[in-house]
Structure 1
Amino acid sequence: MAETGQTSSQRRESWSSRQLACLSCRRKKVKCQPDPAGSSSCGLCAKLQKECYVPEFDERRRTHNKALIDKLRAENARLKAELEDHRTFCLMNDHLDGANDTVLSRQEYSTEFGGLFNNPSPFDGTATSSTSSRSDNMIVRLCGGQRQLNSDRVGRLRFFGPTSSLHLMESVTSSILARESSGINSTSWQEDFPLEVQDYLLDLYWRFHHKVLPCIHKEAFLRDMKNGDTKYCSPLLVYCMLTRAAAISNQPGLRALALAEDADDDAPYLVRKCVQLLETELDAPGITTAQSLQLLSEMHCAISHDTKGWMYAGGAGRLAYELGLHRNSENFDTHLSDLDLQVRQIVFWSCFNLDRYWSLYLGRPQFIKLEDIDAKRPDGTRSDISVEVKMSVAWTSLLEIIGLICDILNGIHTPRHRMETLDQRLRDWNASLDPTFYYSPVQEPPVFLLHMQYAAAMILLHRPLAQFGKDSSVRSSAGEISRQICVDNACLIAQYAQEYYEQHGSVFTMSWIALHIVATAATTLIANIAERRNGGLGMDQQLDSLRKCLGTLNELEKSHVVTRRVRKVIQQAIRLLNLDATINIGATGLNVASLLSGPLPFSLATPNQENRQFPLFDLLPSGPQFDMLNSFESYFT
């Protein structure tokens, strides 16, 4: 009994030392009493069988730091003052800008519309009072017909042209938001891979795909990724980059997450994940959305969904117009930093490049017209710009010429579309290439693709004049020159593919654009060999180059399912032209079937791609859709 009394006394002493009521009693506004049964909970919590939680300190009595309060008040006053200054600036100066724009429009269109603009303009006068200025400003906003780059309620810049009235719904003062806010913070960019795998895949992306039609400003992306800022980094963009990298990984388990086995199969997990994230981000699209749409376009091409890829590329271009990327941002009062301007330039011109390449890939018209834009191109002559910006300049100038070649093939003929002019422009492009991108067998992967694309462009330009399929009696000397140019460049593409393999381990790490390049070289060689026209290169060299192209297509099929379609077409062409025996001559142990379904016919060094193994269970996200993959783990490893 004495022991029990002592315990009860100690219990009462312990309870009396509690200065705060538990959260349950506080919410019910009742006195917090000890449990008669002697438990550590209060009587109410014990009766309700709930956890009795007592906070360590009383938030209601917490004193705030006076310095913090003063700082917040000062910041509030500063923002109010800036807001008022901006409002005054808009009221006093916008109507003058509108007047200038109106006068400029009158000068530009006076010849076309006659005396339509000869009447006095309501904006020619100068505001004489605050009321007049405010009235004129509103009239200009209603009918002034200016180009507007406004910010919406979340600080996202949007472009409206002179015919639109939608800019009236945008905030006049929201450019402050664009300057002060850079997005929502994020602490987790992806939830499917361990950090080690994420770093491995990002390294693959930076190494093999980043500088081929570059659409991401690496410095801005890594800065925001580190800081958790979503201005130039987003979960969607991260997933798109990881998906493109997984497709070229030497890990079959990773490739299974990014590639389908057949074009008719459902989209793989990572592609579906990207599409789901896109639906969310389209509620408030921004720079990262335009970048992600470009990567989604590439990954749908890789899995042989050409229509979706084409439409995603078009969506990226339209979003670039929506964000005003096609206009010279320096003409708008947006207070963008030099880094912001560089990002906007890279993203827009990457949309331009992608539009040109899809037009080339599918043989369709381009929708981004140079006459519709005045966006500045990145300055490749500056000494302080990054390699990715220089690469963007090189790709843009090359694909602009290729776009004109596509115009010729689609039936458009103007003085700037003359073959001699375009041939000289291509040669000038090659001669003026930045020394960083001169070709050598030890160059970076994107440089190989750049030179392969140049060779393919020469083929596309000269192939219509090469007179393939015509009777030898009607062939001209100019046609013979064009044919030789085509054959020489086709063999050069095959050489680049072999040297890429020797330097970088496997050609399946190449970007999706390699498919069109290699297929162009292969079909040119097949046509020339079928007509038994040796030209300046011997038949043996052409046959060897064709074998390399066929083997390259076979390897590309590992990372680009769409290659299977091209391979079947070429295989059928070889059979119809009875070239099976010809191609097999001099190729010991090789035949057409093995070239199109076996390993590369190269005698090469050990692959350089890092052979890192990751447990499949760590890579596959949980869920019923992966039960089959988990049950066949040995198949992927």
Structure 2
Amino acid sequence: MSSQDNDVMMVADDGPSQRQPKSLAKACTACRTKKIRCDAAKPECGNCVSQKRECIYRKETPRKRPTFNQIGKLQRDLATLKVFLLTLKRSGPEERQKLLNEAVDEDGAVNLLDSTADPTGEASSRKATSQPIGRGATTPIVSSDDELNIANFISVDDAGTTNSFGPSSALHNPARNDKGTPSSRQSTTTEHVKNELIANAALQRHLEHRLTRHTTIAGEPTELALHLLNLHWARQHHTFLLTYRPAVMRDLECSGPYCSAFMLNAIFACCSKFSPRPDVRDDPNDASSVGRRFFKRCDDLLSSDSLLTRPHISTIVGLVLLGSTYNARGETSKGWLYTGYALRMVYDLGLHLDPKQTTEDPEEIEIRRRVFWGAFVCDKLQSLYMGRPVAINLRDSQVSREFLDLYEEMEPFYPSALAAGSSSRLDENMGDAIPRHSVSTFQQLCLLSKIMTTIINRFYVVGATFSNAQIDLQKIEQALQQWRDKLPSELDSQPWLSTSTAVQTPNIMVLHNVYHSLIILVHRPFISDDHLRSTATSGRSWEQCTVAARCITSIASVYKSTYGLNGAPYVLAYTVYVACTVHVRNAASQSQTRDHLAMLKSSLECLDELCTANPGVAKPAKSIRRLIEANRLNLLAEITPHDQADMSFDLDTIQSTFSVADWSNTGSDMFHMGDFESFLYDYLAKQGIYKVHMIGSIKASEVGDLDNGGHNGVANTQISDFAGLSLGQRPNVVLLDAGTNDMGNYNDAGGVASRLTDLVGKAIMECPDTANIAAAIMTGRLIREEAVSLCKNYVLDSQSPLVKLLSP
């Protein structure tokens, strides 16, 4: 056996777990060091023999390259570190020190699970850092629309027909790769196309009257058919923009491709629930028979025309509309299957790929984009409603949200047409019409649906774990906050800020309720008794859920008072249900106030009204009632509105009872209402006064109302913005802990008085019959005496007799 054979044998005999090196060093150590040619002779090379030196051969494998897992781990660690640094930058001194202390354990090991939550131990850390790359911290929450090249996923057959067969398909035939349009020309073309589409939409709207010449439309008398179509254009259409009106109404008259008997009957079936006319019922005396013949006709057409095996855009639209309506009716299996058929057709027709790659027809591009995003949104809402996986993921779709026909964006909306029964207050105070903003509202809903996809895939799938979800929590929060910050002002809806706030269109109200429900769905898993529970209840997640639930109830109440809920969409019902799950928890908690019970009662009443048009809502409402019974809550308890004339407490007595005359001797620079607010809260509770809201700079309020526990480290201007939600609940008493922190931050005597004036004035204006108790304002090393004097004088000289200052 040769020397070389012995070398190989020794390597192989090192142990059963050792693998044979892929490559052994051919040159000896001396030649490799000098970087000279070695003849690799054994046992000694020629160079070493001539130089009379020891010749040594070492067995070495090539330097190992990092594995994909190692690269992925490094990327996740880097992303986590970046998030942690951003969190430190935004945090106050105390919170920053706490985060740093928690990031390094006693042994000096670094443990960065998530900068917004407490570490849950070494095991959780290992799970978080060993997760697959696809779910790592580097995965974007919302991907851009145009980041991938989709040309390889478009196939053209011998007849020139475009199909959706990817590069792995045996049916794939690559499309011709044309050169792109120059950017300057493309910009000009886009503006031209936009004007062309808007002009065509206006023209087609003027031509719709020609339909009255027909005796029947889709088997129904023309007058009834047009009535149902008008209901559709006024309601469902603006939520999902599935139906492109210029093409539908044009092709309805000329039997074109974008309008079919199946789609028309689907529209009739879905919007008949909004009609008060008896002729939409099979039995005029049976409300449950509304639209029954249209639903049956749709089933017959699907069968007789084999529509499920012949994908078409009009069939997709009809199936998506029916799927949503069946869910609202409580027929969830049928709704799930119909929507599933539609989503498969979306892929079959290639609607998930941007149509600019396959056509230059502006109308076709507009239609395909709208149908895709309408189906995308419905898919996500249905997945949330049923707790099932999504069918279209973010990476599977590369379609622009740029809609060029903006005719409906500024189209006037007449609220009185939707108001229930009596005249709405909008008609009384705001005039005849407001802009619809349909296109921009739908674009924002598309963005929310992309975030919704990530929430479902990270938090609400089988196999979701606390440690993995915790890593994604802050990124999803940031995505939601960015969406809110970038929302155009004309799409804003915060009815709790002021009684004179303009009422928005129904689709904008629904948009905001979807946003607030997503905040709850992001945080609810982290509450201790939910499916991603931690070792202790997350107060921050509870607080976020509570604030969002208040917002949902407030918006739903405004929707109810303005338009009524008999014709509201089931999406609104789902958001109210989500809010109820939080209201029940709060009402049943030890620190509950009647405020939460009142909101629960109001939300449940909304659900009951929503059952009229959406019978399927009865099941969620029943689930909430079971929770109420399990927690032994009494919704029949008398909740009377407060009245200033009947207040059973004396502010002067409170002012003298809770004296802080000795506070200045403690050496503290700041005075906080939180130092004795729990005693004041108990005192007021004994008087039967439960609606006490804290507004100010104490985050950890002791009054048992986390969502109104103040805001740490912010100035009066910011507090004034935050205060709107609390004031919107019409509290009996406002504990105003503000001014001191403001002076500490600004050190501006004149500015402090002005800012405090604005804040107290806001409370007086929005709640004129509410008592305002202000904290004492002390002179300290950070607060100049003249600032204290100005603030005291304002509070004491306030025109409202209900403003008192707790002061030495």
Above 0.5 in TM-score?
yes
Q: Is the Cα–Cα contact under 8 Å of residues 383 and 389 in structure 2 kept in the other structure?
A: yes
Alignment correspondent of 1:211: 238
Alignment correspondent of 2:456: 406
Aligned partners of 1:341, 1:189: CA distance in 2, in Å?
31
Relative to structure 1, the CA distance from residue 388 to residue 146 in structure 2 (aligned partners, 3 Å threshold; closer, same or farther) is same
Q: Is the Cα–Cα contact under 8 Å of residues 224 and 232 in structure 1 kept in the other structure?
A: yes
Report the Cα offset of residue 214 of structure 1.
2.6
Aligned partners of 1:283, 1:367: CA distance in 2, in Å?
19
1:522 aligns with 2:583: no
What SS is found at the alignment partner of 1:418? helix
Q: 2:472 aligns with which of 418, 427, 444?
A: 418
Aligned partners of 1:522, 1:252: CA distance in 2, in Å?
34
Q: Is the Cα–Cα contact under 8 Å of residues 490 and 521 in structure 1 kept in the other structure?
A: yes
Report the Cα offset of residue 360 of structure 1.
0.8
Q: Is the Cα–Cα contact under 8 Å of residues 379 and 391 in structure 2 kept in the other structure?
A: yes
User: 1:401 is matched by which residue type in structure 2?
Assistant: I
Q: 1:462 aligns with which of 515, 523, 532?
A: 523
Report the Cα offset of residue 156 of structure 1.
7.7
Aligned partners of 1:288, 1:158: CA distance in 2, in Å?
18
Q: Is the Cα–Cα contact under 8 Å of residues 152 and 158 in structure 1 kept in the other structure?
A: no
Alignment correspondent of 2:638: 585
Structure 1, gaps ≥5 residues long: 1-110, 113-144, 171-185, 589-637
Relative to structure 1, the CA distance from residue 500 to residue 146 in structure 2 (aligned partners, 3 Å threshold; closer, same or farther) is closer
Relative to structure 1, the CA distance from residue 475 to residue 146 in structure 2 (aligned partners, 3 Å threshold; closer, same or farther) is closer
Report the Cα offset of residue 554 of structure 1.
0.9
Alignment correspondent of 2:322: 296
**Cα deviation per residue 1:172-226 (whole Å; 9 max; x = unaligned)?**
xxxxxxxxxxxxxx9787345433322322222222211223312223223323x
Aligned partners of 2:620, 2:284: CA distance in 1, in Å?
20
Report the Cα offset of residue 256 of structure 1.
6.3
Alignment correspondent of 1:395: 445
Alignment correspondent of 1:117: none
Alignment correspondent of 1:572: 626
Aligned partners of 2:617, 2:391: CA distance in 1, in Å?
26
Report the Cα offset of residue 385 of structure 1.
8.2
Alignment correspondent of 1:362: 386
Aligned partners of 2:607, 2:549: CA distance in 1, in Å?
14
Relative to structure 1, the CA distance from residue 238 to residue 189 in structure 2 (aligned partners, 3 Å threshold; closer, same or farther) is farther
Q: Is the Cα–Cα contact under 8 Å of residues 247 and 255 in structure 1 kept in the other structure?
A: no
1:319 aligns with 2:319: no
User: 2:238 is matched by which residue type in structure 1?
Assistant: K
What SS is found at the alignment partner of 1:508? coil
Aligned partners of 1:399, 1:465: CA distance in 2, in Å?
22
Q: Is the Cα–Cα contact under 8 Å of residues 345 and 376 in structure 1 kept in the other structure?
A: yes
Relative to structure 1, the CA distance from residue 195 to residue 532 in structure 2 (aligned partners, 3 Å threshold; closer, same or farther) is farther
Q: TM-score, normalized by length of structure 1?
A: 0.58
Report the Cα offset of residue 446 of structure 1.
0.8
Alignment correspondent of 1:509: 567
Report the Cα offset of residue 540 of structure 1.
2.9
Identity %: 26
My pick for the range that moved more, 369-378 or 409-418, is 409-418
1:542 aligns with 2:542: no
TM-align CA RMSD: 3.7
| Larger relative contact order (Cα-Cα within 8 Å, sequence gap ≥ 6) | 1
Alignment correspondent of 1:489: 548
1:215-230 aligned within 5 A: 215-225=242-252, 227-230=253-256
Report the Cα offset of residue 468 of structure 1.
5.0
User: 1:291 is matched by which residue type in structure 2?
Assistant: V
Aligned partners of 2:158, 2:272: CA distance in 1, in Å?
36
**Cα deviation per residue 1:528-574 (whole Å; 9 max; x = unaligned)?**
1111334xxxx233222212211111111111111122222222222
**Cα deviation per residue 1:370-395 (whole Å; 9 max; x = unaligned)?**
22232223258x97884443233111
Q: Is the Cα–Cα contact under 8 Å of residues 360 and 403 in structure 1 kept in the other structure?
A: no
**Cα deviation per residue 1:320-379 (whole Å; 9 max; x = unaligned)?**
1111111122223x3x31121111111111121111112111111112122223222325
Aligned partners of 1:196, 1:236: CA distance in 2, in Å?
19
Aligned partners of 1:318, 1:469: CA distance in 2, in Å?
33
Structure 2, gaps ≥5 residues long: 1-66, 69-150, 176-210, 410-436, 494-500, 642-808
What SS is found at the alignment partner of 2:513? helix
What SS is found at the alignment partner of 1:212? helix
What SS is found at the alignment partner of 2:353? coil
Alignment correspondent of 1:6: none
In proportion to residue count, which structure has more helix? Answer: 1
Aligned partners of 1:268, 1:300: CA distance in 2, in Å?
12
1:437 aligns with 2:491: yes
Q: 1:533 aligns with which of 591, 594, 597?
A: 591
Aligned partners of 2:526, 2:575: CA distance in 1, in Å?
19
Aligned partners of 1:438, 1:151: CA distance in 2, in Å?
48
1:246 aligns with 2:272: yes
Alignment correspondent of 1:453: 514
Q: Is the Cα–Cα contact under 8 Å of residues 328 and 374 in structure 1 kept in the other structure?
A: yes
What SS is found at the alignment partner of 1:422? helix
Alignment correspondent of 2:93: none
Q: Is the Cα–Cα contact under 8 Å of residues 297 and 312 in structure 1 kept in the other structure?
A: yes
Relative to structure 1, the CA distance from residue 260 to residue 160 in structure 2 (aligned partners, 3 Å threshold; closer, same or farther) is farther
Q: Is the Cα–Cα contact under 8 Å of residues 346 and 392 in structure 1 kept in the other structure?
A: no
1:63-78 aligned within 5 A: none
Relative to structure 1, the CA distance from residue 260 to residue 231 in structure 2 (aligned partners, 3 Å threshold; closer, same or farther) is farther
1:345 aligns with 2:369: yes
Q: Is the Cα–Cα contact under 8 Å of residues 218 and 261 in structure 2 kept in the other structure?
A: no
Relative to structure 1, the CA distance from residue 253 to residue 545 in structure 2 (aligned partners, 3 Å threshold; closer, same or farther) is farther
1:1-80 aligned within 5 A: none
**Cα deviation per residue 1:115-157 (whole Å; 9 max; x = unaligned)?**
xxxxxxxxxxxxxxxxxxxxxxxxxxxxxx964454898x985
1:80-119 aligned within 5 A: none
Alignment correspondent of 1:372: 396
Report the Cα offset of residue 466 of structure 1.
3.3
1:562 aligns with 2:605: no
1:498 aligns with 2:557: yes
Report the Cα offset of residue 501 of structure 1.
1.8
1:278 aligns with 2:302: yes
Q: Is the Cα–Cα contact under 8 Å of residues 260 and 561 in structure 1 kept in the other structure?
A: no
Report the Cα offset of residue 165 of structure 1.
4.4
Report the Cα offset of residue 441 of structure 1.
4.9
Report the Cα offset of residue 521 of structure 1.
0.8
Report the Cα offset of residue 575 of structure 1.
1.8
Q: Is the Cα–Cα contact under 8 Å of residues 156 and 163 in structure 2 kept in the other structure?
A: yes
Report the Cα offset of residue 246 of structure 1.
0.9
User: 1:244 is matched by which residue type in structure 2?
Assistant: C
Aligned partners of 2:286, 2:158: CA distance in 1, in Å?
40
Q: Is the Cα–Cα contact under 8 Å of residues 404 and 417 in structure 1 kept in the other structure?
A: no
Aligned partners of 1:444, 1:229: CA distance in 2, in Å?
33
Alignment correspondent of 2:795: none
Q: Is the Cα–Cα contact under 8 Å of residues 296 and 309 in structure 1 kept in the other structure?
A: yes
